[in-house]
Amino acid sequence: MSAGQMLLVATLAVPALGAAVVALLPRRIEQGARVTGTVAAALAFLASALLYLGRDWSPMIALGTPVQPWYQLQLDWVPWLNLQFHLGVDGISYPLVVLTTLLTFLCCLFTIYRVPEGGRGRSLVALLLVTEVGIVGTFLAFDLVLFFIFFEVVLLPMFAIIAFWGGERRRHAARKFAFYTLFGSVLLLVGVFVVVGSAGTADIVALTAGEALTRPIQLTAFTLFAVAFAVKSPLWPLHTWLPDAHTEAPTVGSVILAGVLLKMGTYGLIRIGVGVTPEGIAWAAPVLGVLAVAAIIIGALVCLAQTELKRLIAYSSVGHMGFVLLGIATLSVAGLQAALIGNIAHGIITGLLFFLAGAIKDRAHTGELARLGGLRENAPVLAGLLGFGAIASLGLPGLAGFWGEIFAVVAAFQRGDTLWVVLGVAAAVGAALTAAYFLRLLRRVTHGPAALQLTAPGLTRPELVAWSPLVLLALALGLLPALVLGMAYDPVTALAGVVP
Amino acid sequence: MTTHAPLAMLLPAIPFAAALVTLLLPQRSRAVAATLGIAGAAGALALTLVLLLTFDQPYGGYVELVRFGELAVSFGVRVDTAALLVAVATGVVALAVQVYSVSYLHDDQRYAPYAAQVSLFTAAMLLVLVAGDLIVLLVGWEVMGICSYLLIAHDRRLPAAPGAAVKAFLVTRVGDVGFWLGIILLGVGAGSFRIADVLAAVTAGEISGTVLTVAALGLLAGVAGKSAQFPLHTWLPDAMAGPTPISALIHAATMVAAGIYVVFRLYPVFSGATGVLAVLGVMAAVTMLLGALAATAAEDIKRVLAWSTVSQLAYMAGALAIGATAAALFHLLTHAAFKALLFLGAGIVIHAVGTNLMSGMGGLRRALPATFWSMTIGLAALVGLPPLAGFWSKDAILYAASGTAGWVAALVFAAGLATVVVTAWYATRLWLRTFFGAPRPSSQEGSPLQAMAVSGDPSSKPVHGAPPLMLWPVVALAVPSALLGFAAFAEAFVPWLQTPDPVEWAGEYVAGAQAPVPVLAEQELLHIGVFMVVPVAAVALGIVLAWAMWRRDTAADPARLLGPVRPVFAHAFYLDQVQHAVVVRPVTAFARAVRRTDEVVVDGAVEGTGRGTLGIGALLARAHRGAVPRAVAAVLGGALLFGIVAVTLGGAW
């Protein structure tokens, strides 16, 4: 096994082992268990980050393969089902993997310091690690069945995180989340078997390169995939599980949900929708584009009329993911790149915003915009960070969120025909509406006279440690988008080449 | 060929670095923050001067940032004398503002973020000036917008500040939707976001006429927002809720100047598109008069100056509309000097009397002599009294308009001349009401001047009279306000204000293929002759009208001359209310409706499905709770059914 393959395994195995150890430690070890889990998360982050160093530098397009992982690991798993344990990483999935391990690590770190009501911190850490295994596995899987399995692994721990540590309506939100995504998963499973049954292989690398699937099969399979991924992403109008789940989930749950869980849907659309069923996605692209822009506009308008802090941030994800989906729907290199950086930027910025919203709600004991106010009077640092997060999220040029938004619009314009130009214009209007609701949020929360007495207005050290990487990344990616897109350029170009 | 492209890239980086470091300071560390702010502005100014003095030929330089498909975005600079001259203005005003703020905000609790935001503002403007790539230009453009937002909202005691800040950002952001689309259309059309490539594609006719027109109109929307042109001008008068030095920064050398500068920079796009310059001309003519008339009835000294900015920017826009690009840029430079002076001077006045309202001022020329003389120069430059700076630049615009054929030029000329009269009138009103007549009681208790009046001791200097750190920048700015106009006498100056032909750029083009930029064939800024009488007569008319009115009763407001239209002017033609009724209210109502629909219909369907499933389940469950005989009958019935199906369909087996 090469060093790269070992790192691939470690990225999955370390958090899995960590979760097992945390679960098996004697019940009285509480803090120690949390620390153990956090160390596991840190090691997983380290392993995933190291994946970059050992990668194959040879130019890939020469090989003529649309998917060329840096390294892969292929083991027979269930031979009589032709099922393989096939992992790999390339420039498309690497940033998402690192984002996942980073956010999980920060969330575990944060849990050492603060456990939301509802259960023990060590259980929460263990569940976070299991979720991480599922999400990272989804990004690393190069086998359709394996992809499906990892996709499903995420569901239960996340259900538990919402249902036990969540807010007042946590049970309802958790059920809705679970059933809604299960409904999508059933279709995903059917789609997987349509493809596997027809092509005789579940290997994503082979499926992307080959032309094993006929057009009708591709259309059928993509329709099934699309619904599953649309629920996860979420795409309007299949989004209504999101505001409930994100609002009710504990802070760390919201961070993981918005930060990386949604990206499983958009990643699936890129890796499987574009790669495996290119004719299907090309056929459905206009519908996808229209729904994406609907999500941008509707998400922004709902936020403009929203009255609760956390719910507003939750809903803002609908609009932001709309930009990502618009980028994917254009099926161009620029659009797919915009989607990739949009994914990462949203994960970083919305992750930060959920941390901040949680901190504000903890201190003010309310999230109602009408009752908040004057945060900059009694908690200036918190207010400053919220301002930074909101400004980053509204897509200010120079910060991470900008690139995905403007280049989704550019990609729509590059398509040239009237429909796409109209979609591009509408998306640009949506970007302005995004600015409107975030400034409304800041005006309600940070400006004006101090409305409430805050408990402990200053920042604690754990908060500072957990948040500052996100602040720095939002700035760094804004100034140097090539940090993500440099490695993605070749694989995305190759992938876009398979679209008819 | 040697270029200074790397140095030019450093230009925005200096204040940006100062901003980043200052942001990390504790909020109250005033001394370090002030030093860093001043150092950042001074460094940028020094570098600009170095670049200007060593300037030999226009140049560009690029570092690729990222590549989206076939479109690359590069951190690029494109430097010519015009960019550097505006950069000098930016540097001077930024430095003046940083120095002035030390004293003006001496008791501010959040000085470090304030100074950092001013530095960031400066960096963003410098980025717009030197950017060689449209996306990078957009970065500077919008960062400036957010800095204006942050700085306008800075004053925590002013209830109006947060609203004004939001308004400033959102109104400009609405225009920026067009700006985005314009940039995208140009970039997609030219296959590159580099300004050089875009202009080459435009002059070579590679972008179709319709696309070019739409792109230019889109850019124009953004420009109207940034440079406060009708109908997107409404944010600027409210923006004075920010601290006074910020008003000077926004109104003089950053933000509003950026819009005019971008039209100048991308001039072939506008001149190549059919009808767009006519739109700009009409917009300018309307804004010119609208701003000036609104200034006549404003009571707040900063609001008068703010409306005057709106009106003066329209002169520049009008000059651009008729192809007098050099005159536009000349007026931009002189305006930067005298408007910064006027705002900073107004800040001293406000500081002294404790109110913004002119009804609380009067007779201040004795208490604030240096401020009085400086502001007199500034106001005279604003109205265009010879030989002060504003006279030459405004005269150049009017002369160009009078000598250009076509209805747009005629409109700009007519509006321009009428505006000269109105400008003279409101400037004289401001001058007389602030510095002459009897001192009026201030509305605010405990103001230094009032204290002086009560004690009856004229020798006791007002505590806040004019702190040196505030006075120096004002006096220093009086020099260019008075003398900058004489630059027009220098032979070399006019070419400096023009964009060089594309072939002259170093490091950007292979020679040939590009047509020269179609501006007025021979631009001139100076023409001493009979024509100069016209604007001077207009100025005299305005001054005399205001003075005559004031003389009758030195305590009353000359604005009573306006009679019944006074409230209309004071409310700026009620355009705020129109904007509220036509845009703000419908959008918020629509947003509420969409939210309800999303919750009731879309989510309702989901929840309904869930409830429905539960209901059906309950129903089926009840069916399964029947007694044994019924269950047995059902099972047997089912078996029978399967049997029949098997026999019918399974015959082939």
Kindly report the three-state secondary structure assignment for every residue of chain A: CCHHHHHHHHHHHHHHHHHHHHHHCCCCCCHHHHHHHHHHHHHHHHHHHHCCCCCCCCCCHHHCCCCCCCEEEEEEEEHHHCEEEEEEECCCCHHHHHHHHHHHHHHHHHHHHCCCCCCCHHHHHHHHHHHHHHHHHHHHECEHHHHHHHHHHCHHHHHHHHHHHCCCCHHHHHHHHHHHHHHHHHHHHHHHHHHHHHHCCCEHHHHHHCCCCCHHHHHHHHHHHHHHHHHHCCCCCCCCHHHHHHHHCCHHHHHHHHHHHCHHHHHHHHHHHHCCCHHHHHHHHHHHHHHHHHHHHHHHHHHHCCCEHHHHHHHHHHHHHHHHHHHHHHCCHHHHHHHHHHHHHHHHHHHHHHHHHHHHHHHHCCCECCCCCCHHHHCHHHHHHHHHHHHHHCCCCCCCHHHHHHHHHHHHHHHCCHHHHHHHHHHHHHHHHHHHHHHHHHHHHCCCCCCCCCCCCCCCHHHHHHHHHHHHHHHHHHHCCHHHHHHHHHHHHHHHCCCC
Q: What is the pTM of this model?
A: 0.90
Do B298 and B363 fall within a single domain?
Answer: yes
Contact B594 A302 (CB under 8 A): yes
User: Checking phi first, is residue B119 left (phi over 0); if not, alpha (psi -120 to 50) or beta?
Assistant: alpha
- Rounded CA-CA distance B98/B95 in Å is 5
Mean pLDDT, residues B639-646: 83
Residue type (1 letter), B35 = T
Query: B53: part of which helix (H) or strand (E)?
Result: helix B30-53
On whether residue B289 sits in a domain, the answer given is yes
Would residue B473 count as lying in a domain? Answer: yes
8 Å CB contact between B397 and B318: yes
Residue A371 corresponds to which tokens in the numbers above? 């009752």
Using DSSP's 3-state secondary structure scheme, residue B415 falls into helix
List CB contacts (< 8 A) between B162 and chain A: 443, 447-448
- For B201, other C-beta atoms within 10 Å of its C-beta total 21
How many angstroms separate the first and last alpha carbons of chain A? 37
Is the same domain home to B369 and B310? yes
Taking contacts as CB-CB distances below 8 angstroms, the residues of chain A near B139 are 397-398, 402
B487 and B624 part of one domain: no
Domain boundary among B514, B544, B570: B570
Distances (CA, A) of B629 to B173, B618, B621, B634: 74, 21, 17, 9
- Same domain for B329 and B355, yes or no, is yes
pLDDT at A284 over 50: yes
pLDDT tops 80 at residue A432:
yes
| Binary contact (A305, B595; C-beta < 8 A) | yes
* Span B549-566, average pLDDT: 81
Residue B353 and residue B349: Cα distance in Å, rounded? Answer: 6
Query: DSSP readout, B363-404?
Result: -HHHHSHHHHHHHHHHHHHHHT-TTSHHHHHHHHHHHHHHTS
Q: Do A304 and B146 touch (CB under 8 A)?
A: no
B134 pLDDT higher than 80: yes
Which range has the top average pLDDT, A390-399, B104-113, B364-373? A390-399
Half-sphere exposure for B17 (CA within 13 Å, toward CB): 10
Are B318 and B441 in a shared domain? yes
* Residue of B161, B180, B592 with shortest CB distance to A406: B180
Question: Is B236 within 8 Å of B148 (Cβ atoms)?
Answer: no
Domain boundary (B519, B548, B570) is at B570
Task: Enter the tokens of residue A218.
Answer: 């591709």
Grade residue B447 by pLDDT with cuts at 50, 70 and 90. Answer: very low
On whether both B558 and B587 belong to a single domain, the answer is no
The sign one gets for the Cα dihedral B470, B475, B477, B481 is positive
Quote the CA–CA distance of B399 and A83 in Å, as a whole number. Answer: 83
Q: Which residue in this structure is represented by tokens 């709902």?
A: A302
Taking the CA of residue B184 and the nearest CA in chain A, the distance in Å comes to 6
What is the ipTM for the molecules in this complex?
Answer: 0.91
pLDDT digits (tens, 9 = 90+) for B246-277: 988 888 888 899 999 999 999 888 888 888 99
Residue B59: strand, helix, or coil: strand
Residues of A in contact with B150 (CB under 8 A): 387
| Domain count along chain B | 2
Measure Cα distances from B104 to A24, A476, B158, B496 in Å. Answer: 64, 34, 16, 36
Asked if residues B526 and B396 have their Cβ atoms less than 8 Å apart, the reply is yes
With contacts defined as CB-CB under 8 Å, which chain A residues touch B70? 333-334
Query: Which residue, chain included where needed, has tokens 């997987």?
Result: A192
Q: Compute the average pLDDT of residues B58-70.
A: 85
| pLDDT tens digits for range A300-348 | 999 988 888 999 999 999 999 999 999 999 999 999 999 999 999 999 9
Residue in chain A closest to B135 (alpha carbons) equals A397
Nearest to B162 among A391, A403, A448 (CB): A448
A406 and B66 within 8 Å at the Cβ level: the answer is no
Helix (H, G, I), strand (E, B) or coil at B441: coil
Give the number of beta-carbon pairs within 8 Å between A and B: 131
Write out chain A residues lying below 8 Å of B181, CB-based.
409, 424-425, 428
Question: To 10 degrees, the CA torsion angle through A482, A488, A489, A493?
Answer: -160
Highest mean pLDDT among A34-38, A374-378, B530-534: A34-38
Evaluate whether B383 touches B423 at the Cβ level (below 8 Å).
yes
Query: CB within 8 A of B287, min separation 6: which ones?
Result: B228, B229, B230, B233, B310, B311, B313, B314, B317
Find the CB nearest B69 among A237, A334, A432.
A334
Judge whether residue B522 has pLDDT over 70.
no
Tell whether A176 is within 8 A of chain B (Cβ): yes
Q: How far off is chain B from A347, nearest CA to CA, in Å?
A: 20
In one letter, which amino acid is B142? E
Q: How far is A368 from chain B (nearest CA, A)?
A: 16
The CA R_g of chain A, rounded to the nearest whole Å, is: 21
pLDDT the model gives residue B449: 46
pLDDT value at residue B500 = 64
Q: Which of A210-214, B49-53, B508-512 has the highest mean pLDDT?
A: B49-53
| Minimum Cα–Cα distance from A443: chain B residue | B162
- Quote the pLDDT of residue B505: 56
Instruction: Please indicate if any CB of chain B lies within 8 Å of the CB of A488.
Output: no
Q: Per the domain annotation, does B404 fall within a domain?
A: yes
Q: What are phi and psi of B191, to 5 degrees?
A: 75, 15
- Asked if residue B366 and residue B469 are part of one domain, the reply reads yes
Residues in chain B with CB shorter than 8 Å from the CB of A407 are 68
Host domain of residue B558: 281-504+529-570
Q: Which residues, numbered 319 to 348 in chain A, qualify as contacts with chain B under a Cβ-Cβ cut-off of 8 Å?
A: 332-335, 337-338
Specify whether the CB–CB gap between A97 and A8 falls below 8 A. Answer: no
Question: How much is the pLDDT for B446?
Answer: 44
State how far residue B316 is from chain A, nearest Cα, in angstroms.
Answer: 27
Q: How far is B37 from chain A (nearest CA, A)?
A: 19
Give backbone dihedrals phi and psi of A397, rounded to 5 degrees, phi first. -55, 140
Give the residue from chain A lying closest to B145, CA to CA: A396
- Kindly provide the b/e burial profile for residues A425-450, where b requires at least 16 CB atoms within 10 angstroms of the residue's own CB: bbbbbbbbbbbbbbbbbbbbbbbbeb
Report which of B437, B431, B383, B423 is spatially closest to residue B551, judged by C-alpha positions. B437
Do residues B540 and B637 share a domain? no
Band (pLDDT 50/70/90 cuts) for residue B92 is very high
B461 pLDDT higher than 90: no
Residues B598 and B562 in one domain: no
Q: What are A238-258's pLDDT values in tens digits? A: 888 888 888 888 999 999 999
Rounded to an integer, the average pLDDT of B555-584 is 83
The residue of chain B nearest to residue A384, with distances taken between CA atoms, is B113
Residues B601 and B559 in one domain: no
User: Do B632 and B543 fall into the same domain?
Assistant: no
Residues 363 to 422 of A: which have CB under 8 A from any B CB?
A: 376-377, 380, 384, 387, 391, 396-398, 402-403, 406-407, 409-411, 413-414
Cα separation of B191 and B204, whole Å? 14
Chain A residues with CB-CB distance to B174 below 8 A: 432
B385 and B484 share a domain? yes
